[in-house]
Structure 1
Amino acid sequence: MSAERLVIERLGARGEGVAWLGGRRVFVPYALVGETVTADVDGDHARLIDIVDASPLRIAPICPRFGDCGGCAVQTLRADAYAAWKRGLVETALANAGLKLGVAPLVDAHGGGRRRVAFHARFDSGAAHVGFMAARSHRIVEIDACPLLAPELGGALNAARAIAVILAARGKPLDIAVTATLGGLDIDLRGAGPLDDSETGALIAAADAHDLARLTNHARLVALRRAPHIDIGPATLTLPPGAFLQATQSGEEEIAARVLKATEKAQSIADLFCGVGAFALRLARRAQVKAYDLDAAAVAAMRAAAQAAQGLRTLDGAERDLFARPLNASELNDFDAIVFDPPRAGAAAQAAEIARSAVPAVVAVSCHAQSFARDAAILLKGGYVIREITPLDQFRYAAHVEIVAVFEKESRRKSAKRRLLG
């Protein structure tokens, strides 16, 4: 490791400053474009020592832990430049995939803050340390609070600490996932393994003391005091343990609004990688929806919510592994529109089948710019055109961006144009 003077040329995909040293790229966390810095360089990464010449775009961070805690990548960049950087993540991913496409301005979808959080607990000589990981490290940065969390998660950290203390004797790394629900905090533990009677009793007492709605261990029930409900459009849904949700309520609503608008003329819709039905339950107000996901518990929860809701049209949910067995083009042609929201890895196999189909409208939702760009290229090659690409920021200060893109089959556009021209 050596101390070097570096000039930052750009921000990378992880929010790190990128400089050149001896013909190789060096990544410097927390440095900004145009800054001259000194840093301890170790291979292609460096630790920031000092800012010799600061960027005029540099502002004060909102959190005293910024620079140590790895939860945030970019807090010190002025708002307009920050929005341009996040939008640029999508533009760069598209360009790297050989696509020259317009990207709309970034939409702020942080709202009231994140409604779910994962704390990490590590143990040293029986003492519990709870917080977030340091950047590029497994070291725990203990925190008193996080300014990015929704107020409903106000008691999450104290509850997580109490749980970690109970399980400290195990010495196993522990992840504590907390979700804010209408019934209170819903916590799922990962890493503890099977619990003994003493630990179970202590955790039940902790759930009472911290007024938790539910506590599960690897999705197995430990304590249930109130149902962990959330509202999705017209439905009220009981969350399966550890279920996926969009990070913020505002983010879910912003994405759903764009999905609904893009499919407003469709009477029959396929919702692929549907999860608990964030889109399907809303779409079913005015269309017949078939929703598919590998997560059987999520699909069951969605179906139960739909059955209890008023005013929905048909919503049929099915468990299906869309990676191993994507809906083929023939199956897809039964629908007027398709919505797909895959995990970070994207959905190359499913996108290939969509590209072969004749479905007139497709909405792609993604949390990973690179896999989105790859899937978009597949659809474009199959005859789709893009109507719009909108980046949304519900992971404020992190190097993640949500994307909603609307596609239309080119053959349908040409047919409509011919009709208009007579």
Structure 2
Amino acid sequence: MTHIEITRLGHHGDGIAAGPIFAAKTLPGEIVEGEITGDRILSPSVVTPSPDRVKPPCAHFKACGGCALQHASDDFVVNWKSDVVHTALSHQGIDVPISSVFTSPSQSRRRATFAGRRTKKGVLVGLHGRASGTLVPVPDCVLMTQKIMDGMPAFESLVQIGGSRRVEMAITVTDSDAGLDVSVVDGKELDMELRSDLAGVVREHGIIRLSWNGDEVVQETRPFLSFGRARLVPPPGAFLQATRHGEQSLISLMKEAVSGAERVVDLFAGCGTFALPMAEFAEVHAVEGEHEMLKSLSEAWKTAPGLKPVTVATRDLFRQPLLPEELNKFDAAIIDPPRAGALAQTGELAKSNLRSIGFVSCNPVTFGRDAKTLVEAGFAIDWLHVVDQFRWSPHVEIAAKFSRT
């Protein structure tokens, strides 16, 4: 057995020793032992534990790959995620304090994708083990909402009648304000018999909408999410913020970022997470590449009382970003790009006359790159917060306000 000392954590939450040698579920300062295979200790044993080590709150932590940091204290995780952001910004020559860290509580994840397949003995529904194809049942997951956990018998029934032993089904579940909204991919081909069987599962287990391989099979009632005064019915399987707590934190921060603006442009608007709440005090133009998301946004706006005008435009902002002459029609912008960041669109924002920008990012590295573009164009970072709605994972989200100096 080889003894090594863990010196730091990598971006995936693995402990790293000199070499580098990687060891999952370890912490800086710990002495661990195990057989080294390539650049990794596959089953490290902790000889000298860190004072930041705690007992994982979930019984599935050792086998499930859904969480990476349950063995670390909350204070350690907060400081580590703050350091990840600091490091990404310092590589771009930016030094800004982190105002606060908003951490979502346990049992708050309202959206999840489970894998399911039939077996010789029945069915298996769960999450994959870390870096493996092993499927781990997670009946007592401390991350998901209780409504999602209570839906496990329904998901198993869907696999039983519509799954196979050769292909895993992906079951995306959203805990909407009205109940469970389920979208299945890679299920058996729909026919009349399967449609009838699926409708029976929906009625028996109280699923409010079921989509199967892209087709809506049953809708008992409209699955909606509340955004301020608006009620949004998202497309099946659409991207949403992971927790209500994280969503409300981001909405509050973006309201602060564009406070006083009368016209706001919302870039990478999605279903309207920010556009609809901002319409309570400003006219909003929402731009997004997915037409179905904007369709849902528009329908929610039309039925909401007392909102200011909201217009939408379907546009690929990677290939066709809004140009300065278009951006200059607005007082402020909100931008929430995917992990790749928004290199092209940020470049146009930098050339515009906008006075303030609210920026949400799920990737500190691309955020640092895009922030540098804005800073070099004369913007300053007024404040920056970390929003940790992916608790116990290495995922980090950022909310920041940029203003013209």
Specify the TM-score bucket, using the shorter chain as the normaliser: over 0.9
Partners of 2:100 and 2:272 in 1: CA distance: 27
Q: How does 1:76-87 map to 2 (within 5 A)?
A: 76-87=71-82
Partners of 1:366 and 1:238 in 2: CA distance: 24
Partners of 1:62 and 1:111 in 2: CA distance: 10
Letter in 2 for 1:9: T
- In the other structure, the counterpart of 2:221 is 226
- In the other structure, the counterpart of 1:414 is none
Letter in 1 for 2:361: S
Partners of 1:357 and 1:271 in 2: CA distance: 15
Q: Using the TM superposition, give the Cα deviation of residue 80 of structure 1 relative to its aligned residue in structure 2, in angstroms.
A: 1.4
Partners of 2:123 and 2:106 in 1: CA distance: 32
Aligned partner of residue 85 in structure 1, secondary structure: helix
Partners of 2:202 and 2:4 in 1: CA distance: 50
- In the other structure, the counterpart of 1:18 is 16
Change (3 A) 1:45 1:99: farther
Partners of 2:106 and 2:257 in 1: CA distance: 23
Deviation readout 1:130-161 (Å, 9 max, x if unpaired): 11111112221122221111223232322221
Partners of 1:335 and 1:10 in 2: CA distance: 44
Q: Do 1:122 and 1:140's aligned partners in 2 also have CA atoms closer than 8 Å?
A: no
- In the other structure, the counterpart of 2:170 is 175
Deviation readout 1:246-293 (Å, 9 max, x if unpaired): 111111111000100111110110001111111111111111110011
Partners of 2:224 and 2:318 in 1: CA distance: 29
Aligned partner of residue 400 in structure 1, secondary structure: coil
1:186 to 2:185 alignment: no
Q: Using the TM superposition, give the Cα deviation of residue 83 of structure 1 relative to its aligned residue in structure 2, in angstroms.
A: 0.9
2:279 to 277, 280, 284: 284
1:309 to 2:309 alignment: no
Report the more deviating stretch, 377-386 or 300-309. Answer: 377-386
Report the more deviating stretch, 380-389 or 190-199. Answer: 190-199
Q: How does 1:92-241 map to 2 (within 5 A)?
A: 92-110=87-105, 113-125=108-120, 127-169=122-164, 171-192=166-187, 194-241=189-236
Q: Do 1:16 and 1:28's aligned partners in 2 also have CA atoms closer than 8 Å?
A: yes
Q: How does 1:222-301 map to 2 (within 5 A)?
A: 222-301=217-296
TM-score, reference length from structure 2: 0.96
Q: How does 1:334-353 map to 2 (within 5 A)?
A: 334-353=329-348
1:371 to 2:366 alignment: yes
Q: Using the TM superposition, give the Cα deviation of residue 125 of structure 1 relative to its aligned residue in structure 2, in angstroms.
A: 4.7
Deviation readout 1:182-227 (Å, 9 max, x if unpaired): 2210001122363233322222211111110000023310111111
Structure 1 consecutive aligned stretches of length 4 or more whose deviation exceeds 6 Å: none
Change (3 A) 1:311 1:256: same
Q: Do 1:110 and 1:251's aligned partners in 2 also have CA atoms closer than 8 Å?
A: no
Aligned partner of residue 374 in structure 2, secondary structure: helix
Partners of 2:184 and 2:54 in 1: CA distance: 37
Deviation readout 1:347-402 (Å, 9 max, x if unpaired): 11111111111100001101111121121112112221111110011111011121
Partners of 2:259 and 2:104 in 1: CA distance: 22
Letter in 1 for 2:268: F
Partners of 2:256 and 2:303 in 1: CA distance: 25
Partners of 1:181 and 1:220 in 2: CA distance: 19
1:34 to 2:32 alignment: no
Partners of 1:156 and 1:310 in 2: CA distance: 33
Report the more deviating stretch, 222-231 or 114-123. Answer: 114-123
Q: Do 1:110 and 1:248's aligned partners in 2 also have CA atoms closer than 8 Å?
A: no
Partners of 2:190 and 2:239 in 1: CA distance: 24
Q: Do 1:303 and 1:317's aligned partners in 2 also have CA atoms closer than 8 Å?
A: yes
Q: Do 1:124 and 1:171's aligned partners in 2 also have CA atoms closer than 8 Å?
A: no
Deviation readout 1:333-359 (Å, 9 max, x if unpaired): 111000011111111111111111110
Deviation readout 1:304-343 (Å, 9 max, x if unpaired): 1111111111111121111111101111111100001111
Letter in 2 for 1:354: L
Partners of 1:103 and 1:404 in 2: CA distance: 10
Partners of 1:337 and 1:43 in 2: CA distance: 51
Q: Using the TM superposition, give the Cα deviation of residue 126 of structure 1 relative to its aligned residue in structure 2, in angstroms.
A: 7.6
Aligned partner of residue 181 in structure 2, secondary structure: strand
2:7 to 3, 6, 9: 9
Report the more deviating stretch, 346-355 or 99-108. Answer: 99-108
Aligned partner of residue 48 in structure 1, secondary structure: coil
Q: Using the TM superposition, give the Cα deviation of residue 127 of structure 1 relative to its aligned residue in structure 2, in angstroms.
A: 4.4
Change (3 A) 1:123 1:95: farther
Q: Using the TM superposition, give the Cα deviation of residue 82 of structure 1 relative to its aligned residue in structure 2, in angstroms.
A: 1.6
